[in-house]
Amino acid sequence: MKRAAKFLVRSLSLLVALPLAAASGFGRLEPVFSFFAHCCALAPGIPGDYLRVAFYRLTLVECSLASRISFGSFFAHRDAMVGPHVYIGSYCIIGRAAIGRHTQIASGVQIISGSRQHIRNERGEISGAEQGVFAPVKIGDHCWIGAAAVVMADVGSGATIGAGSVVSRPIPPRSVAVGSPARVIGANEPTVSDSGARSV
C-alpha cells in the first residue's frame, strides 16, 4: 500500500513538473532551467521534495525518483547526476556533480564545479565565470557530507566529510576528512549493528 502511494505521488509530481521541464527544453535552455530550479527550490514541505526530484528527473542528465532534495536546494547546472536513495538537505547549491547512491548531504553544502571557475588576465583582472574551467565533481556511494561543507574535488565512496570542511583535493574512499583545506584524519570502518549485520 505504501509503495503504491509513493508511486502515485511520484507520478503526479512528474505531471506537475512536466510543463516546467518542457519550457526549459528539458534543461537545455539554461536561463529557463535556472528560473524553474529556483522556483522549485521554494516549494515547501514534502510536496516540494517530490516536485524538485520530479523536475530534476526530467532535466538533469540523471536523477533517481527514489532520492530526496530538501527545501531551498537547487542545481546550478543540468550536467549533474543523482543516484538512487540520495538525500540532499536544505539550502544546498550543486553544480556539475555526480552523486553516488545512498549518499547523504547535510544542509548548507556547496558542491561547485571544480576549483578553477574563474581566470585572470595578465593584469590580474577576473575575466568572468563563463570563461572558467568547470570540472565535474564525483561523490561516491554511501558518503556523508557534513553541514556547510564546500566540495570542489572528488570524494571517494564511503567517505565522511566533516561539517564546514573545504574539499579542495580528492578524498580517498572510506576516509574521514575535516578542516579547511580538508585533510584525512582517519578511516571509516564497518560497524556491527545489534542484529549482527555489518554496515558502513
Average pLDDT over every residue of 135-151: 96
Q: How many H helices and E strands in the chain? A: 3, 18
The more confidently predicted of residues 155 and 190 is 155
Q: Does pLDDT of 121 surpass 70? A: no
pLDDT category of residue 122 using cuts at 50, 70 and 90? confident
Neighbours of 199 (CB within 10 A): 8
pLDDT tens for 82-103 read: 999 999 999 999 999 999 999 9
DSSP string, 122-184: TTS-B--GGGSB---EEE-TT-EE-TT-EE-S-B-TT-EE-TT-EE-S-B-TTEEEETTTTEE
Measured between alpha carbons, how far is 151 from 139 in angstroms, rounded to an integer?
A: 9
pLDDT: is 146 or 189 the higher one?
146
The pLDDT assigned to 197 comes to: 46
> 35-87: per-residue pLDDT in tens?
999 999 999 999 999 999 999 999 999 999 999 999 999 999 999 999 999 99
- Looking at per-residue pLDDT, the higher value among 125 and 53 belongs to 53
Cα–Cα distance between 36 and 50 in angstroms, integer? 15
How confident is the model over 124-148, as a mean pLDDT?
Answer: 80
Which pLDDT score, from 0 to 100, does residue 198 have? 46
Q: Which domains, ranges and CATH numbers included, belong to the chain?
A: 2-189 (2.160.10.10)
How far is the C-alpha of 163 from the C-alpha of 112, rounded, in Å?
Answer: 16
